[in-house]
Amino acid sequence: MTPRDPNDVPAPLDPDNPESAMRDARQRFIAAFPSRSDSIGLMLSVVATMGSRGPVLQLRQIVHRTSGLAGMLGFPNVSVHAREIEELLDGVDRGDFDASRANLTFDALEQAFTDDLRHPPTWVGPDPGAGGNRRIMVVEDDEDQREVVCINLRAAGYLPVPVHTGDMALEAAREQKPDLILLDAKLPGMDGYTVCRLLKADPVLASTPVLFMTVRSGLDDRLVGLTLGADDYLVKPVDMPELMARIQILLARRVPVPGRPQGVGPDEAKGIRINP
Partner 1 sequence: MKLLLAEDEPDVQLIARLSLKKAGFTVVTVGNGREVLERVGAEQPDAILLDWMMPDMDGFETCKRLKADPATAHIPVIFLTARVQETEVARALALGAIGCIGKPFDALNLGKQVMALLAT
Q: Which residues bind partner 1 (CB under 8 A)?
A: 16-19, 21-22, 25, 28-29, 64-65, 67-73, 76, 79, 83, 86, 123
* Min CB(153)–partner 1 separation in Å: 30
What's the closest the beta carbon of residue 17 comes to partner 1, in angstroms? Answer: 7
8 A C-beta contact, residue 210 and residue 166? no
- In the bound complex, what is the minimum distance in angstroms from residue 22's beta carbon to partner 1? 6
Q: What one-letter code names the amino acid at 174? A: R
d(CA 239, CA 167): 26
Nearer to partner 1, 79 or 152 (CB): 79
Rounded to a whole number of angstroms, the minimum distance from the CB of residue 116 to partner 1 is 12
Q: Nearer Cβ to partner 1, position 65 or 174?
A: 65
- Taking the least distance from each CB to partner 1, the nearer of 39 and 145 is 39
**Which letter does DSSP use for residue 129 in this model?**
T
Q: How far apart are CA 43 and CA 53, in angstroms?
A: 12
Residues 6+ apart with CB under 8 A from 249: 30, 31, 33, 34, 232
Question: How far, rounded to the nearest angstrom, does the alpha carbon of residue 254 sit from its chain's CA centroid?
Answer: 9
* Cα gap 163→156, rounded to integer Å: 19
- For partner 1, the closer of residues 18 and 276 by Cβ is 18
